[in-house]
Structure 1
Amino acid sequence: MAVLQPLVDLAAICYLHGVRHVVLSPGSRSAALTLAFSRHKDFEMHPVMDERSAGFIALGIAQQTGVPVVLICTSGSAAYNFAPAIAEAFFQQIPLLVLTADRPKEWTHQFDGQTIYQTEIYGKHVKKFFEFPSDYAHSDAIWAINRISNEAVNLAGNLPFGPVHINVPIREPFYPLDTDSLLAPTNLRITVQTVPEPALTIDDWNVLLDEWDDSGRILIVGGQHQRCEKLNHALSKITEELDVPVVADSIANLSGSELFIHHHDLILASNKNQEELVPDLLITYGLSMMSKELKTFLRDNPARKHWHIGNDGVWADPLKSVTRQIAVNASWFFETIFEKIDYQLFVQNADAENDPSYMDNWRKKEQSACREQEDFLTNLTSLTDLSAINSVISNLSGSNQLHVGNSMPIRYVNALGRTDKLAGLFCNRGTSGIDGSLSTAIGAALVNNVPTTLIIGDVSFLYDRNGLLLKTLPSNLKIVVINNGGGNIFRMIDGPARQPELEDYFETKHSFTARRTAEDAGLVYMSASSPDSLEHSLHEFNLLEQAGLLEVFTDPEENRLTWKKFKSITSD
């Protein structure tokens, strides 16, 4: 039997629950955890030097697989460095099982190395906190560790997905002897949690269908959501056959119907004739919305009825108008409500009673915005953040997965509205921080087996470049760094843009490039500083059979002027 057998059992329990990926940062106190998982032989181990990057790489893997990823670190400040990724995973509902090694409790605040207060260190940003006993002599301790291990991995992988933290105090000796066998017993107890699927009663449906029938203007709006073909198919039927407009940001991964509304940023940038777009019944699904224009419009013009669909147990009301929370799966709900309405119309030999002109109003504005956007981009002769990102997206194939950094890149991507044909779009909009975007994309590319492109700003890239400190980077990863010499978003925001301290304390102007970082990481490096050089570079870049980085240099003031003009093209 191993000196720390319960930790060997923990690894086996995780495997039997379907966990396959372990991200770890090296350390001594965590050695027993590292060896328990690595010597199991059936896990894919991902050693990452920097704990902050490790957390986001684990998030990227879990984001793709939908299965909890184990995240291991040693004691002390190492655990704190997981915090940004854990907060993002909590609000984006990504399953992680966080294992932090610790000193036994009696050594806390006794001038012992790498010893801090680790109990509930992540506060409310985990679904639940557990702590193993540090002594295993009594059978109750073995039972408790087994019970906690089963509960924690079940909890991370049940809705709402999210991070679960186990703090693991470990006594010395914690390195096994050569004679120790790190094997779990054959009679290891596994506890499986069965979660009932939420459903709606006949009475519930009658009430919902009555509210639908009483609403002339019905609008469906999607928040952040992983790509789901069943959901997109159901929404396609609703918009095409029932004349209900469906609006969603790029992070909603809405695709399928040509009638979907993707250019609401431009449509709602103008205050003209917005009253004809106000819904009577608003139906939302998914997590956060990112379009400020859409959120402002819906807050300023609250619908009489607002249903939010989602079985994640989160009672959120960001638009300040929810009248009904419907705790069911979104794809099931939209499939079912379409079937019920379609059958009802068939039996009655009638057409849908909602106002068809409402759909027409949205569609006319969408078509106008598309034409004006195309004209604007065609006549744009300089290389700017906007034109560069448009070129990158235009050169991606339908098999590409696109990851986007926060701050301005995701705002550009959302306003362009051209990502519905891609294999999926991902952005860390749980906390919307610039930290970890690069590492998340690396984690995703390690497991998704598809071409993976990241568009990221220079500050965000520099901030997270320790994510590149892997032994081998995935060959399917392509990184596009938009380098405008600082935090360009602050030129776009009226408040900081008017301050004399803009360049020194908001933009944090710099002269760094990604060249040496790319070379150190073994990435093929390319650069572009004009429209022609970008087109030439993109062609070669997309043909690369190994990981590469393309750096695009733009002027911050030109970016500001172009963005301002772009957002006003529908105001005339």
Structure 2
Amino acid sequence: HHWHINNKKAYDTFFSLSKHIKTDENWFFENLFKQRSEVQSNYFSKWDEVKQKYESRRKTYLSEIPFTDFLAFQTICSGIPKNYQLHLANSSTVRYAQLFDLDPSLKVYCNRGTSGIDGSTSTAIGSSIHSVNPTLLITGDLSFFYDSNGLWNSYKRNDLRIVVINNGGGGIFRILPGMENSQNFETYFETVQDLELQKLCALFNINHLEAVDKKTLNTALSTFYLPSNSPVLLEVKTPRLLNDKILLTYFDFIS
């Protein structure tokens, strides 16, 4: 059943509307809740078992794969300090992050919904200024370079942390089906780049750390969140031509 509940027009967006209930939403749910009755069901136990199997398979998969975006995100997401404000950039970033558990104390934000990399860095820095807690931005190389002017201000807090997953281009276009085999794919879709993040960090007075495998990533993360006299950026370099294969194989593996 698909019900639309409010006093105004009911838009049948998914062409499956079965009833338009013309009343106040709060009144409807308050009265619906009063009429509830408990039933015996194995719904939770059934899907919890599915979840447990999925998590077990994911753990096995992580132990078998080489260092790629997938493994980097798992390592990063599992080590974010409590109560941080977390900003996730478009587009691979938020897709990867939703595959892993995040601490419930984190406040998570993402410019998602309009499909684009516009302003992810600017949004994170602007938000960090008004946050009581420190801010972490996880972003990709193209998103970061695209909005690098967001670093050009005098308001960056010393507890700002940025992780740039640098896979040398727009890795999302290798994951999504379409033009990956076309002649112009690397130039106009993936936008392959070899820019030096360290120089950009020097320009904006940001400490630069680098990781190229799991060992160096763990080493960098051990000091990444410590107090500092300027913002810190961690550049995580991953293999451009392998990331998509590891991610797509993962979905086959857990199924």
TM-score > 0.5, shorter chain as reference:
yes
CA distance in 1, matches of 2:28, 2:77: 32
| 1:256-300 deviation per Cα after TM superposition (whole angstroms, max 9, x unaligned) | xxxxxxxxxxxxxxxxxxxxxxxxxxxxxxxxxxxxxxxxxxxxx
Task: Tell me what 2:2 maps to.
Answer: 306
| 1:404-434 deviation per Cα after TM superposition (whole angstroms, max 9, x unaligned) | 0111111001122x12523211111131311
Alignment of 1:32-431 (within 5 A): 305-307=1-3, 319-323=14-18, 324=20, 328=25, 336=30, 339-341=33-35, 344-345=36-37, 351-352=38-39, 356-380=41-65, 382-416=66-100, 418-431=101-114
**What's the offset of the Cα at 1:310?**
8.8
8 A contact 2:90–2:111 mirrored in 1: yes
**What's the offset of the Cα at 1:360?**
3.5
Bigger Cα Rg: 1
CA distance in 1, matches of 2:157, 2:80: 18
- What is the letter of the counterpart of residue 50 of structure 2? K
| 1:459-505 deviation per Cα after TM superposition (whole angstroms, max 9, x unaligned) | 01000000011013122311100111111111112212232322122
Number of residue pairs matched by the alignment: 252
Aligned with 1:433: secondary structure?
A: coil
* Match among 483, 487, 491 for residue 170 of structure 2: 487
**What's the offset of the Cα at 1:318?**
5.6
Task: Tell me what 2:202 maps to.
Answer: 519
Task: Tell me what 1:117 maps to.
Answer: none
**What's the offset of the Cα at 1:340?**
1.8
Aligned with 2:138: secondary structure?
A: strand
Q: 1:359 to 1:502 in 2, by over 3 A?
A: same
Task: Tell me what 2:128 maps to.
Answer: 445
Once superposed, what is the RMSD of the aligned Cα atoms? 2.7
Point out where structure 2 has 5 or more consecutive residues left out of the alignment: none
Point out where structure 1 has 5 or more consecutive residues left out of the alignment: 1-304, 346-350
CA distance in 2, matches of 1:317, 1:547: 48
8 A contact 1:402–1:422 mirrored in 2: no
- What is the letter of the counterpart of residue 511 of structure 1? D
**What's the offset of the Cα at 1:327?**
5.9
8 A contact 2:93–2:140 mirrored in 1: yes
- What is the letter of the counterpart of residue 414 of structure 1? Q
TM-score, length-scaled by structure 2: 0.88
**What's the offset of the Cα at 1:333?**
7.5
Task: Tell me what 2:187 maps to.
Answer: 504
- What is the letter of the counterpart of residue 425 of structure 1? V
Q: 1:339 to 1:497 in 2, by over 3 A?
A: same
Task: Tell me what 1:22 maps to.
Answer: none
CA distance in 2, matches of 1:314, 1:430: 24
8 A contact 2:82–2:103 mirrored in 1: no
8 A contact 1:401–1:422 mirrored in 2: no
- What is the letter of the counterpart of residue 550 of structure 1? L
Q: 1:498 to 1:327 in 2, by over 3 A?
A: farther
**What's the offset of the Cα at 1:522?**
1.3
Aligned with 1:495: secondary structure?
A: coil
Structure with the larger RCO, 1 or 2 (CA within 8 Å, 6+ apart): 2
CA distance in 1, matches of 2:237, 2:183: 24
8 A contact 1:449–1:476 mirrored in 2: no
Q: 1:470 to 1:558 in 2, by over 3 A?
A: same
8 A contact 2:168–2:193 mirrored in 1: yes
Identity across matched positions, percent: 35
Aligned with 2:114: secondary structure?
A: coil
